[in-house]
Chains A and B, each alone.
Chain A
Amino acid sequence: MKRNAIFSAFIAMAFFTGCNQSSNKESGSDAGDKLVIGATMLSMQNEFIVNVSDAMEAKAKDMGVELITVDAERSALKQVEQVESFIGQGVDAIIMNPCEVEASSPAIKLAMDAKIPIINVNSETSAKPTAFVGSDDTESARIAMKYIAEKLGGKGNVLMMHGFMGQAAQIRRDNGAKEILKANPGLKLLAEQTGEWDRAKGMSLTENWIQSYGDKINAIFAQNDEMGMGAVKALEAAGLKGKVLVVSVDAIPDALQAVKKGTLDATVFQNAKEQGGKAIETAVKAAKKEAFEKEVLIPFQLVDKGNVEKFLK
């Protein structure tokens, strides 16, 4: 009997989602002259992605287009299915914030085959989309590491905290940082380890590093602000913050506050608002068959105590 109940729940669910899709389709065609854009986002649990999504929402409102946003919850499979249903609904353009370089690629082909323009925002896929709007992660690490090299006068011991190993952002930020380290032979990479993008993990890792290297540490580069904030907390507790430079990437609100207070030395600003806005603009142009840029690169900006006010709202 229990099995029956579960089974009927499944049927009900399938029926419900089926209905939902068909009603969406109607509203898509009903809109008539109003352009409809479907957007699938990597994860709405990620603050930065939420900011990009908010910017897209605002821009869509400004331009008078209808935006349907769905959350892929980090699953490439789900993302491909979402793009399929966008195609089924007959949207005018699709914006994809890819979950994975390879696994999200089939979605590009599906949209291309259906002759619907598809724009990648923030990160890439191996398949080439209609257009790409985002920033080059390698550059963010270059900027951060250059700042460290400059502040240390090209000489000192550096520790690097990685994101989740193997993710595109981690690999790019690693490459960018190593490039600058190579160009500055006076900088020595004492150790590198993952903090998994997480503040608590970054804090524990820094505590352990302090045990290992203590006074020898001159600078820490964290591949995102969360871990950077963790490093700052650990250094403060050990009374070392004044002596160690900490630089991270993303410019989340917490990090901006820390830069203002002087606890975090610098962060690198990735412009969520520009990325979201430009993604909508490009999608609208592509849908209307107007001319558009195939690659819109939004530059990163270094944020330190000197210019932090500009980024605080």
Chain B
Amino acid sequence: MNRSSKSGQYGIFFAFALICLVLALSTPKFFTISNLLIIGNQVSINALLAFGVTFVIITGGIDLSLGSMVAVTGVAAATFAHPDTYPLVVPLLVGLGAGSAMGAFNGLVITKSKVPPFIVTLGTMTIGRGLALILSKGRPVSNLSDSFNFIGGGNIAGIPFPIIILFVAFAVCSILLNKTILGRYMYAVGGNEPAARASGIRVSRVKMWVYTICGLLSALGGILLTSRITTGQPNAGAGFELDAIAAAIIGGTSTSGGTGTMTGTLIGALLIGVISNSLDLLNVTSYYQQVVMGVIIIGAVVLDGVGKKD
């Protein structure tokens, strides 16, 4: 039942290693501990969103509202994170609660209405952006407490806290996908929905779960972003959904559902982060950056395809 393709994973890992090698040879600043920590830090938000959307894509769905959920949850959390107002758990619960609720809303509409997820989440993407603007009255929410700002800006024993969150989330998501019944059901639903239904899997319930989890992870990303830039910004996160979906797909998750791994998605996110970091290190002009980024993404997936054929 578990159709995660191991060979595909190796292909993308090979592509990633190759690109890192080339970068390490072209600039001595790339392969230093401080730079690697910076990449980890910069990658963390996109990786969290990508984990969430990987679940969704495995079940054959899509979620375009990630970026808007980042904005809503960030603004919502920031509203309760001013110094000397509420204890730290309040903004965290508000943010995570808002994200889960929005995710659950996506799931509910998708399972009840049978409208394609692309359309539903396109709608919630706009709704979310509007909500973020309404909540914040169009202005950034700043002046946040030090404890809140630690989440995205602090470090423990020299390791930036976002990297710790990233690895914990990675471990939890991997276990959820590989070691639980819900994870198996996700692959089953994405691989062949009628068959899954016939074999007694409650498809709607599985879908509710994946969209809710996706919302929760987006909220974690939103809180991380807000804390990192120490402001809740209503226009933050625009376009994040594309980077997250790209990371999942580069990592071998098939848009037709049923296939994908968390390790692949993590490598996909790292690949995007490494490229954008090194293009800055190499001082490639911004116009060319976008072209290079696109070429490398396509190249990586092509390489992945070659790996799969072997």
Cα(A208)–Cα(B27), bound, Å: 12
| Contacting pair B230 A233 (CB below 8 A) | yes
| Contacting pair B229 A208 (CB below 8 A) | no
| Contacting pair A211 B35 (CB below 8 A) | yes
Cα(A45)–Cα(B283), bound, Å: 31
| Contacting pair B286 A193 (CB below 8 A) | yes
How far, in Å, is B202 (CB) from chain A's closest CB? Answer: 26
B:7-64 near A, CB below 8 Å: 27, 29, 32, 34-35, 38, 41-42
| Contacting pair B236 A211 (CB below 8 A) | no
Q: Does A293 contact B (CB under 8 A)?
A: no
Q: Does B265 contact A (CB under 8 A)?
A: no
Q: Does A60 contact B (CB under 8 A)?
A: no
Q: Does A204 contact B (CB under 8 A)?
A: yes
Beta-carbon nearest neighbor of B37 in chain A = A207
How far, in Å, is B10 (CB) from chain A's closest CB? Answer: 29
How far, in Å, is B231 (CB) from chain A's closest CB? Answer: 7
Q: Does B261 contact A (CB under 8 A)?
A: no
**A168 contacts which chain B residues (CB < 8 A)?**
none
| Contacting pair B231 A199 (CB below 8 A) | yes
Q: Does B233 contact A (CB under 8 A)?
A: yes
How far, in Å, is A199 (CB) from chain B's closest CB? Answer: 4
B:177-233 near A, CB below 8 Å: 225, 228-231, 233
Given contacts A165-B287, A211-B29, A211-B32, contact A200 B225 (CB under 8 A): yes
Given contacts A45-B138, A205-B280, A237-B153, contact A254 B231 (CB under 8 A): yes
How far, in Å, is A177 (CB) from chain B's closest CB? Answer: 16
**A212 contacts which chain B residues (CB < 8 A)?**
27, 29, 280-281, 283
Cα(A54)–Cα(B190), bound, Å: 50
**A194 contacts which chain B residues (CB < 8 A)?**
286
| Contacting pair B133 A45 (CB below 8 A) | yes
Q: Does A50 contact B (CB under 8 A)?
A: yes
Cα(A227)–Cα(B41), bound, Å: 18
Q: Does B277 contact A (CB under 8 A)?
A: yes
**B225 contacts which chain A residues (CB < 8 A)?**
200
Beta-carbon nearest neighbor of B280 in chain A = A208
| Contacting pair B139 A50 (CB below 8 A) | yes
| Contacting pair B38 A207 (CB below 8 A) | yes
Beta-carbon nearest neighbor of B142 in chain A = A254
Cα(A44)–Cα(B29), bound, Å: 41
**B280 contacts which chain A residues (CB < 8 A)?**
193, 204-205, 208-209, 212
How far, in Å, is A201 (CB) from chain B's closest CB? Answer: 10
> Digit string of A171-215 for contact with B (CB within 8 Å is 1, else 0)?
000000000000000000001011000111001110111011000
| Contacting pair B283 A200 (CB below 8 A) | no
Cα(A275)–Cα(B286), bound, Å: 32
**A153 contacts which chain B residues (CB < 8 A)?**
none
Beta-carbon nearest neighbor of B115 in chain A = A2
| Contacting pair A203 B228 (CB below 8 A) | yes
Q: Size of chain A's interface in residues, with CB distance under 8 A?
A: 28
Given contacts A47-B138, A208-B277, A211-B281, contact A199 B286 (CB under 8 A): no
How far, in Å, is A162 (CB) from chain B's closest CB? Answer: 7
How far, in Å, is A147 (CB) from chain B's closest CB? Answer: 24
A:217-275 near B, CB below 8 Å: 229-230, 233, 237, 252-254, 257
**A205 contacts which chain B residues (CB < 8 A)?**
280
B:114-165 near A, CB below 8 Å: 133, 138-140, 142-143, 153
Cα(A212)–Cα(B286), bound, Å: 16
Given contacts A50-B138, A200-B236, A254-B140, contact A207 B42 (CB under 8 A): yes
Q: Does B235 contact A (CB under 8 A)?
A: yes
Beta-carbon nearest neighbor of B160 in chain A = A237
| Contacting pair B35 A199 (CB below 8 A) | no
A:46-63 near B, CB below 8 Å: 47, 50
**B257 contacts which chain A residues (CB < 8 A)?**
none
Q: Does B234 contact A (CB under 8 A)?
A: yes
Given contacts A199-B231, A211-B29, A233-B153, contact A44 B138 (CB under 8 A): yes
Cα(A47)–Cα(B234), bound, Å: 10
| Contacting pair B229 A165 (CB below 8 A) | no
| Contacting pair B281 A230 (CB below 8 A) | no
Cα(A193)–Cα(B278), bound, Å: 13
Beta-carbon nearest neighbor of A206 in chain B = B280
**B142 contacts which chain A residues (CB < 8 A)?**
253-254, 257
Question: Which of B143, B229, B233: most chain A Cβ within 10 A?
Answer: B229
**A47 contacts which chain B residues (CB < 8 A)?**
138-140
A:112-168 near B, CB below 8 Å: 162, 165
> Digit string of B267-286 for contact with A (CB within 8 Å is 1, else 0)?
00000000011001101011
Closest 7 CB pairs of A and B: A208-B280, A194-B286, A199-B229, A211-B35, A191-B283, A207-B38, A212-B281
Given contacts A205-B280, A208-B280, A212-B27, 20 further A-B contacts (CB under 8 A): A45-B235, A47-B139, A50-B138, A165-B287, A191-B283, A193-B283, A198-B236, A199-B231, A199-B233, A200-B229, A204-B280, A207-B41, A207-B42, A211-B35, A211-B277, A212-B280, A212-B281, A233-B228, A233-B230, A253-B142
A-B contact pairs, 30 of them (CB 8 A): A45-B133, A45-B234, A50-B138, A50-B139, A165-B286, A165-B287, A193-B283, A193-B286, A198-B236, A200-B225, A200-B228, A203-B228, A204-B42, A204-B280, A207-B42, A208-B277, A209-B280, A211-B29, A211-B32, A211-B35, A211-B277, A212-B27, A212-B29, A212-B281, A212-B283, A229-B231, A253-B142, A254-B142, A257-B142, A257-B143
